Amino acid sequence: MRIVLLGPPGAGKGTQSSRLAQVLRVPHLSTGDILRAAIREATPLGLKAKAAVDSGALVEDEIINGCVGERLAKRDAEGGFILDGFPRTVDQATMLDTYLRHTGDEVDVAFELVVGLDHLQQRVVKRAREAMAGGEAVRSDDNEIALQKRVVAYLQHAASLSDFYRQQGKLVQVDGLAEINAVTSSLTDHIASTMPRHPPFA
Ligand code: ADP
């Protein structure tokens, strides 16, 4: 099962991806998490990506494509994955298709969490407050200026990316403002009805 999650910053991609990964028993690959870990550990990838991530800009396709390619080549991703935060541009989506074609695989479904822009700031403020309350560090890009930039970057590519998957008949839009469990159910219901032989539905 190869799933990609699309949607604006703060739409809930991370939450839903990790739930889906648990249900489907495939790895949850978040490019944001991979980049943040690389930045924390000051790896060559982290050093290259830091300025873009902190400011809310997109990391260059070449850098992120290489990083995703490496991650997908690991054994645990052979049987499937939930990609969260990738692809974000049509070029990235094309790279992903090309990559998967080598092994005769393809993306099964692209779920888009639809959330109006006016709700995003609230969501991100909530995430920052929850992190602080839990004694965790607030993300360096969960501030007003970086969020605006992330939204602009999202809007630049969102429509063409959705069209890319729509044209392939793979786009499934879900109301990202619904209650968390209801969103998860919409996603798993879709998978169960279209891929009934996939564990745990079989
Ligand atoms: P969100 O979706 O909430 O903005 P993410 O954790 O997915 O957060 O991403 C955080 C940042 O990491 C992005 O703003 C961007 O700088 C970088 N990033 C993550 N995924 C990609 C990608 N596919 N292409 C380019 N940059 C990316």
Q: What residues pair up with 171 in beta bridges, in sequence order?
A: 110
Q: Give the pLDDT score at 109.
A: 97
Q: Give the pLDDT score at 59.
A: 97
Q: What angle do CA 85, 91, 94 make, to 5 degrees?
A: 90
Model confidence at 202: pLDDT above 70: no
* DSSP H helix total and E strand total for the chain: 8, 5
What spacing in Å lies between the alpha carbon of 58 and ligand 1's midpoint? 6
pLDDT per position as a tens digit, 94-142: 999 999 999 999 999 999 999 998 888 888 888 889 999 999 988 889 8
pLDDT per position as a tens digit, 31-74: 999 999 999 999 999 999 999 999 999 999 999 999 999 999 99
Distance CA 88, CA 5 (A): 10
- Residue 66 has a CB neighbour count (10 Å cut-off) of 14
Q: Give the pLDDT score at 200.
A: 78
Q: Give the pLDDT score at 198.
A: 73
Average pLDDT of the chain, as a whole number? 93
pLDDT per position as a tens digit, 165-194: 999 999 999 999 999 999 999 999 999 998
- Residue 189 has a CB neighbour count (10 Å cut-off) of 10
User: 89 vs 198, which has greater pLDDT?
Assistant: 89
Residue of minimum CA distance from atom 16 in ligand 1: 53
The active-site residue out of 2, 13, 19, 48 is 13
Q: Give the pLDDT score at 61.
A: 93
52 lines ligand 1 (CB under 6 A): yes
Model confidence at 199: pLDDT above 80: no
Distance CA 49, CA 39 (A): 7
DSSP helix/strand/coil, 125:
helix
Give me the helix-helix angle, 90-101 and 144-167, nearest 10°: 50
127 is catalytic: yes
Query: What is the enclosing helix (H) or strand (E) of 109?
Result: strand 109-114
The answer to whether the CB of 176 falls within 8 A of the CB of 119 is no
Q: Give the pLDDT score at 18.
A: 97
